[in-house]
Amino acid sequence: MQYTEQLTQHLQRIQEVLPQYLPAVCADCTPVPEAMAYACADGGKRLRPVLVLEWCRLCGGDTEAALPFACAIEMIHNYSLIHDDLPCMDNSPLRRGKPSVQAAYGETMALLSGDALLNRAFEVMLSDENTRTVSPKQAMKAAWILAQASGIEGMIGGQVMDLRCEGQQIDLEQLVALQAGKTAALISAACRMGAVLGGGDETRLQAAATFGYELGLAFQIVDDILDVTSTAQVLGKPVGSDAVNEKVTYVSLVGLDEARRMAAARTQAALAALEPFGDEAASLRRLAADLQNRSM
């Protein structure tokens, strides 16, 4: 992924501060802090935290004040990837081109590292220090959005549906509901958190929610496509896993061409939500287009 200059600046700040929000290594709890840092190290796109910062900027806020929240959503995302790779889930040995956390640290420590990242995210968001830069109401609202989107009504709910549907024939409506929870909920939450932290009004919040939801659905369709068209070397994670796990995906349900058309339609819907922002939303427009055409 190549981000615009604006988004690259956000990315750089996230890379600088994310390690500072992680716990220090301590002899008594080794190797969990090391595994947390390993899971959060370079290699991912940092899409969700970049969206937090860009929506904050777009709504007129101070992106420095939004940084703890951006790092928190990346921690939640990384915890979900650790758990997704566990033997009881996808049992994946590879993530971001290196051994998954469970492959590097073992199943038990991977499970605990994921749990610890989840808790750390809330510690970071709700720290007293943040209320000097954002209001307690904004901090609470952003944390609530993240809790709700990553819980049973969002990411975990989608993951439950995903696992329960393995080997079952589901229709397009069910697939959209599953992917809305598993993937789009967190991406939409990133945009909404940014809008809240930036002081956006209800109209801007709604635009953020719609943009994130449509972008998130497009993102997952492309993920389904890459699972059959790409290689493990390019993606840095195993390919063909959807077929192995007997998962219904856009590709298995409607075929490659139609899946590509649907990803394009979702991207258009995301772009439509940016219309009120004019030129200020140029980076988000470029991001949506690049994600549709991404190769990893």
Cα–Cα dist 192/188, whole Å: 6
Cα–Cα dist 167/173, whole Å: 17
DSSP state of 98: E
260 touches ligand GRG (CB under 6 A): no
156 touches ligand GRG (CB under 6 A): yes
Query: Cis (ω within 30 of 0) for the bond into 31?
Result: yes
Selected from 10, 13, 57, 83, the binder of ligand GRG by CB under 6 A is 83
Closest CA to 179 of 122, 143, 236, 225: 225
**84 vs 200, beta carbon nearer ligand GRG:** 84
Where b means 16+ CB within 10 Å and e means fewer, 145-164 reads bbbebbeeebbbbbbebbee
Cα–Cα dist 163/128, whole Å: 38
Minimal distance, residue 48 CB to ligand GRG, in Å:
7
Please name the amino acid found at residue 171: D
204 touches ligand GRG (CB under 6 A): no
Helix (H) or strand (E) holding 99: strand 98-99
Minimal distance, residue 181 CB to ligand GRG, in Å:
9
Selected from 54, 84, 224, 242, the binder of ligand GRG by CB under 6 A is 84
Minimal distance, residue 291 CB to ligand GRG, in Å:
9
Q: Could you give phi then psi for residue 94, rounded to 5 degrees? A: -130, 135
Minimal distance, residue 60 CB to ligand GRG, in Å:
27
Q: Which stretch binds ligand GRG (CB under 6 A): 13-21, 151-159, 198-206, 277-285?
A: 151-159
Selected from 223, 224, 227, 242, the binder of ligand GRG by CB under 6 A is 223
Selected from 21, 44, 113, 194, the binder of ligand GRG by CB under 6 A is 44
| Structure-block tokens of residue 29 | 């709890």
Q: How far is CA 196 from the centre of its chain?
A: 18
Q: Which stretch binds ligand GRG (CB under 6 A): 13-21, 132-140, 153-161, 166-174?
A: 153-161
**6 vs 249, beta carbon nearer ligand GRG:** 249
Cα–Cα dist 167/164, whole Å: 8
User: Which residues of the shown chain bind ligand GRG in the complex (CB under 6 A)?
Assistant: 44-45, 47, 80-81, 83-84, 89, 96, 155-156, 159, 182-183, 220, 223
